[in-house]
Structure 1
């Protein structure tokens, strides 16, 4: 049966979710979660929140789904310990270092892979299953055919987003908010720049990156037949009334009620951006998926009814069976049993001989069934009542209250977790040699003579370029170390084409691939190729570096969201490089921003720019030959003048990333690698500013 997973950004939202039929809730506690702007819970409030849910048969998943730095790991360890002691059912995690830390501290605590891990293929699911994850939340961009294939073959539970906000970028691959405003989406601080107006080539007050909210309520039966285990409703930043409305409507649909026009209307009133979209699920991307939030008059009657569901009522959602004995000369006995097999019992007073009217089985059943104000509903009452006896109603009520209170205590109880103390990993300092250069390009035309004379340690070239010009790269591979750059997104239906291209690259003598997604590691292993880790793996702490080393990578790229001191202190168990030049990639989108503008695929027709209201420009390029868009920063990252400072960081390499530059511009950069920093055209990125 499909699990209905609802958001709980506050205590009221938690009550709204539970009272309206959620099977599970997800919530954050004091930082380290992707909705830092929600009210969230304190660690002291967490045990009571878990008890409240467990008594009512609702599971609790704690979100620890942000990237963390080395200095934050001890605090994260405290969160993991508190979560385990509180009895949460699972942690939702993005950072592989956090996952490793949880396995070390609380090995029995289940791990769910956040959508921030950008898992979009069966191989990605399998890779995380091998790392101990028991559930994987898929990328929201996947169409139903891809979801179905993964579900049929997955070794673990699969969760999909069914309702709520859609990010323009693949989750976990968005750096736009961080780079332009220091508010990192990977750390729960996204400022939602995709919701702002832009224009193509000039500012036009259009909204080419503001997606409508997702709504899959018409496809719940289909998702269940696919084998999806959990339906996630997005909305930890939303008010409790929203949670109540959306949870209640999806609960009714899952329970078999036909979706009505009034349901769709209520969902729109609760929150929408000019309606909803099913575009990703149906595989129909395009302009029709976009919309903005419009001013609306609140439906006060709807909101009041939603509040009443959790402020004034205690839904009786836990079925129980009562067993009672009222016999001559002995204390009355009452027991209760829930569906999980918990049995609690209590004694009452000795019944007296009836002077007027004797207690009957029906009367006893009626009194025991009065469970209002509790989460319990009497499914059955089985009793033995000797004739001619009476027992005061107050005594029956007391016994019922006492036995149900005992049952609540038992249902809330969890075995004491087996916890180990936090252990910091010994630091690995990296190389003492001066870092070498690596270079990445987007096209063969960018590989100039001057670039080759630089003799980069590795030249990174998109796999699609190598497949298009095999003779050129066969000759080049004989005198220059090459590595193919894989698209960050490769659906299962696209894997065959990728493997064929990898086989071609291997036949040319290329033995290394740069990858930004763990789901591609097994594909590279199958072709005997070395896997070099790219920035898309979001490496921000030493424990994650150790995990990636154990996965068999040959080198790593540090996240460009790190500051220089954080990068310096990062352990380097593998050769580690950093980006020092180029337009930083801000977004990776399934919706092709170029086709959405022109109506046809014209990705190779020349540079396309988005312009914001301040006149800043953002170039758009294709991701490694696919029709997915990469939004680039307007200013170029430049740290080439800081090479002497970087010598002490233990880095293996400094990477120059050429994207929109033509051959002449590339030669100009390479001809003067000591050029001073130009604040008008360049940026230091986040290396000095850091992120929130």
Structure 2
């Protein structure tokens, strides 16, 4: 059965989702979820929500899907342990460190890979399965053929989004909000700067980063046939009436094995839309028509009032069967069985011989079927009533009530799952030596003989660029070149990627910079030395330990951390810091360059301007994707004393828009020669608190 998963950003939204037909709800508890601005549940409210859902046969998924510092992990571990004790059905995670903690404190609680983990191909899904995860929430950008391929070959459940807001960037890879505003989407506080005005030619006169909301109305049966296990509705920041309207429409469509009607789609739009909906990612038909903004419209008062009236009453969702036995000289027996096979039996008074009118089977069945106002819906009553007996109808009512109370107690019992304690493990001393220098480039043309002669320890070159320019291996010293794997590579891109990996391996390249879990299996299978890049979101010591367990020898620390936080991380393996360059802000499946011009123009200079006049270069990413870079270059050459003794293995210079000569000048400056510095620069987030 296709599961419908609804958002629950408040206790009232829990009621709205459940009463409107959700099979499961997802909600945050505390400060460790990707919607920290949603109304937080108190401990009492959260426990009550779990019981409320479980009583009505609805699962509860806890969102612990943000990046966490080492100081936050113990508190998050207690949240996980507490929720495991309450019987939460699964927990969603982004942070590999948090996943490691969960294995310690709640080893039996199922773990789902959040969409924030950026899993978008079969290798990534299989890796999650190998680690013990039971479900993956796929990236929202995937097309129908990619979802179908993954479902057909996945060893675990696949969940996809079916309705709600679309991020412009792949979830878990967006740094726009944190870098320009200090509020991290990876920490649950995205300020949604993508919804603001941007433009080209120096004018912020449009909204090229604001996608319409997704709606998969019209594709429900297709997704079910593919083998998708769960359809997810976005909207923990939305009001309960919205949750009810959207949930009820999709729930009816799934139950009746159909697509939403035209009238229902109109109701979806009335509840919330941004100039309509899009299914462009799913249909692989991308373009300007996918974009829209929220317009000022009147609140659909009548629709929302109907929704409130519906979800504020008990809709008797749980089917039950009653059994009764009324025999002379024996206590009256009533049993009730739910759809999971739980049976509760209760005994009542002994019936007497009838003086006038005897109790009939029909009367017993009628009384036991009166479950209105409860979570239960009587589907069937089987009663054995012998002739000539009398029993007050009130006694039957009491037996029905007592049986249902017993069943309710059974339904909300949490499972007997193991719990454990969080142990951070051994603390590793920081390296004493100053970090070595590494370099990454966007284009092979940035790698000159002069640059290589300056002897950076490693030069990371994108896979496609290195495969197309084998001459670089002739210029470089043995072991100096490394291949940088794409952050995003769909399964249909895999054959070409594998062929290119074979090419660069034949050139003598031994090191691979891995930006996504889905790139790990092929690189490991080919014997590359694995190095983790910023796309893996390394935020704490536990994440480093998890990557070391997976075979990595180094990892790039998140540039959303302050230098003091990086210093305090226990480092079980070599760590790298991005010390120069235009920080990546967004990687996008939808090509905003082509949306603007109607043709591919990646090789040209493309600059996006915001409402304050800041200019953000837009460059080509592997797979004909777009990447937005920061308007200012990160520059720390004059701050090396601040990070030279915080335990780093390497400092990386990230070259993106620089020409070959500039690359040499920057490297020389970081080697202590020359006085080059960018005209305008930033210190990034290394000295700022990020929420």
Q: Corresponding residue for 1:289?
A: 290
Q: Corresponding residue for 2:631?
A: 634
The whole-number CA distance in structure 1 between the counterparts of 2:278 and 2:606 is 26
SS at match of 2:99: helix
Q: Corresponding residue for 1:364?
A: 364
Q: Corresponding residue for 1:645?
A: 642
Q: Corresponding residue for 1:305?
A: 306
Q: Corresponding residue for 1:441?
A: 441
Match of 1:659 among 656, 659, 664: 656
**1:69 is the counterpart of 2:69:** yes
**1:44 is the counterpart of 2:44:** yes
SS at match of 1:132: coil
The whole-number CA distance in structure 2 between the counterparts of 1:442 and 1:665 is 14
User: Are 1:7 and 1:13, in contact at CA under 8 Å, matched by a contact in 2?
Assistant: yes
The whole-number CA distance in structure 2 between the counterparts of 1:446 and 1:452 is 11
Q: Corresponding residue for 1:497?
A: 496
The whole-number CA distance in structure 2 between the counterparts of 1:7 and 1:320 is 27
Q: Corresponding residue for 2:351?
A: 351
The whole-number CA distance in structure 2 between the counterparts of 1:422 and 1:204 is 49
**1:87 is the counterpart of 2:87:** yes
SS at match of 1:672: helix
- In the TM superposition, 1:527-538 aligns within 5 A as 527-538=526-537
User: Are 1:169 and 1:589, in contact at CA under 8 Å, matched by a contact in 2?
Assistant: yes
The whole-number CA distance in structure 2 between the counterparts of 1:677 and 1:637 is 13
Match of 2:619 among 605, 618, 621: 621
The whole-number CA distance in structure 2 between the counterparts of 1:71 and 1:259 is 47
SS at match of 2:465: helix
Q: Corresponding residue for 1:262?
A: 263
Q: Corresponding residue for 2:606?
A: 608
CA-based RMSD: 1.5
User: Are 1:430 and 1:575, in contact at CA under 8 Å, matched by a contact in 2?
Assistant: no
The whole-number CA distance in structure 2 between the counterparts of 1:643 and 1:429 is 20
SS at match of 1:328: coil
Q: Corresponding residue for 1:334?
A: 334
Task: Please report how far the alpha carbon of residue 623 of structure 1 lies from its aligned counterpart in structure 2 after TM superposition.
Answer: 1.3
Tell me the TM-score normalized by structure 1.
0.97
The whole-number CA distance in structure 2 between the counterparts of 1:571 and 1:335 is 58
Q: Corresponding residue for 1:562?
A: 561
Task: Please report how far the alpha carbon of residue 324 of structure 1 lies from its aligned counterpart in structure 2 after TM superposition.
Answer: 0.9
Task: Please report how far the alpha carbon of residue 644 of structure 1 lies from its aligned counterpart in structure 2 after TM superposition.
Answer: 2.0
Tell me the TM-score normalized by structure 2.
0.97
- Between 1:384-393 and 1:113-122, the stretch displaced more is 384-393
Task: Report how many residues are paired.
Answer: 688
Task: Please report how far the alpha carbon of residue 345 of structure 1 lies from its aligned counterpart in structure 2 after TM superposition.
Answer: 1.6
Task: Please report how far the alpha carbon of residue 344 of structure 1 lies from its aligned counterpart in structure 2 after TM superposition.
Answer: 0.9
Q: Deviation digits for residues 430-456 of structure 1, max 9, x if unmatched? A: 432221100111122222344223211
SS at match of 1:461: strand
Q: Deviation digits for residues 580-623 of structure 1, max 9, x if unmatched? A: 1100000000011211111111111x221110111111110111
User: Are 2:321 and 2:337, in contact at CA under 8 Å, matched by a contact in 1?
Assistant: yes
Task: Please report how far the alpha carbon of residue 227 of structure 1 lies from its aligned counterpart in structure 2 after TM superposition.
Answer: 0.7
- In the TM superposition, 1:223-622 aligns within 5 A as 223-256=223-256, 257-311=258-312, 313-470=313-470, 472-478=471-477, 481-604=480-603, 606-622=604-620
SS at match of 2:572: coil
SS at match of 2:219: helix
User: Are 1:607 and 1:660, in contact at CA under 8 Å, matched by a contact in 2?
Assistant: no
Task: Please report how far the alpha carbon of residue 677 of structure 1 lies from its aligned counterpart in structure 2 after TM superposition.
Answer: 10
Q: Deviation digits for residues 183-211 of structure 1, max 9, x if unmatched? A: 00001000001111101121242000000
Q: 1:47–1:238: structure 2 CA closer, same or farther, 3 Å change rule?
A: same
SS at match of 2:644: helix
The whole-number CA distance in structure 2 between the counterparts of 1:676 and 1:370 is 85
**1:668 is the counterpart of 2:670:** no
- Between 1:47-56 and 1:63-72, the stretch displaced more is 47-56
The whole-number CA distance in structure 1 between the counterparts of 2:461 and 2:3 is 43
The whole-number CA distance in structure 1 between the counterparts of 2:186 and 2:565 is 16
Task: Please report how far the alpha carbon of residue 306 of structure 1 lies from its aligned counterpart in structure 2 after TM superposition.
Answer: 0.4
